[in-house]
Amino acid sequence: MSLHPQSVAALALWGEAPPVHTLDAEGIRARRATAREEGLAEPKEDVAQTTDVDAGGVPARLLRPHGADPEEHLPALVYLHGGGFVLGDLETHDAPSRRLANRTGRVVLVVDYRRPPEHVFPAALVDSVAALDWMVAHGTDHGVDVRRVGVVGDSAGANLAIGTALRRPGVLEAAVLVYPFLDPEASSASYASTTGGLDREDGLWFWRQYVEPGDDRVLRDPELAPLRSTRLGELPRSLVQIAGEDTLVDEGRALVERARDLGADVTELTYDGMVHGFWRHPAVFDAAEQALADAADWLDRP
């Protein structure tokens, strides 16, 4: 495989920003502010309703898909955004969250989980689980069929989605895991064999922010490093979407293999020539819309 021309163009543009591993605390704040401004400026699709909520003590946003019958109780998705645990919030991921709601026809709860380095592991996971619990307990009041709640996460969000599913086995209907970020040692061969948007030094930097300084033991915790988990067979029906030229491609494939070996029902889809981050940017990557369409189709299957 080789990079798609759209991936080549995106990598050239993204390469103009300073690498994240060079950021200090002030740099993190600046990068977050820039990303937020870009998210606020990004064109957004209309949805039927937007409601900011307190989801069990966690700030979150409910999005009801465009054209939905206001009286109908719809299936729902808890969306956990990417950003290496450190970056991203309700505004940076508002546009993709709206697309997710509209393409799937589901209510989407976007979770503004706590981020490191201010709040280290397991804060983000605790918040993700709290938001799911809130959705199950209170979703009916917001037009949700609480018997049909799934989870979606991209990159670090996929890591949190796995942890959430395993903390609440049997609760979720399905999980969509987009180029999951899973290995705190960044040890997979694809870090060296691909050029797909997240280099090893940046990957390790994100993991270091996520844990207490010097606490290497937690890097082996299966809730932080899901590939170490012996409970992957307890995952709900899952779709793993992999970018073919992503540095995380091996992690996604390892997840599929290990979860299947442990008895999970897992579907794998690979998007050839795509790099890390493609899913969020349909204006740049045609495959972004295809991936959403694929997820919507998969979610609708019995």
Neighbour tally for 27: CB within 10 Å? 12
Among residues 4, 81, 142, 276, the one annotated as catalytic is 276
At 214, which amino acid appears?
A: G
Q: Is 276 a catalytic residue?
A: yes
**Is the previous residue joined to 122 through a cis bond, with omega within 30 degrees of 0?**
yes
At 17, which amino acid appears?
A: A
Torsion sign across C-alpha atoms 118, 34, 45, 238: negative
Tokens describing residue 260: 């299947």
Among residues 112, 127, 246, 250, the one annotated as catalytic is 246
Question: Vertex 292, ends 285 and 178: CA angle to 5°?
Answer: 85
Phi and psi for 269 in degrees, rounded to 5?
-130, 130
Q: Is 188 a catalytic residue?
A: no
Please state whether beta strands 237-243 and 266-271 pair in parallel, antiparallel, or not at all (unpaired). parallel
Among residues 7, 155, 229, 238, the one annotated as catalytic is 155
Question: Catalytic residues, which ones?
Answer: 155, 246, 276
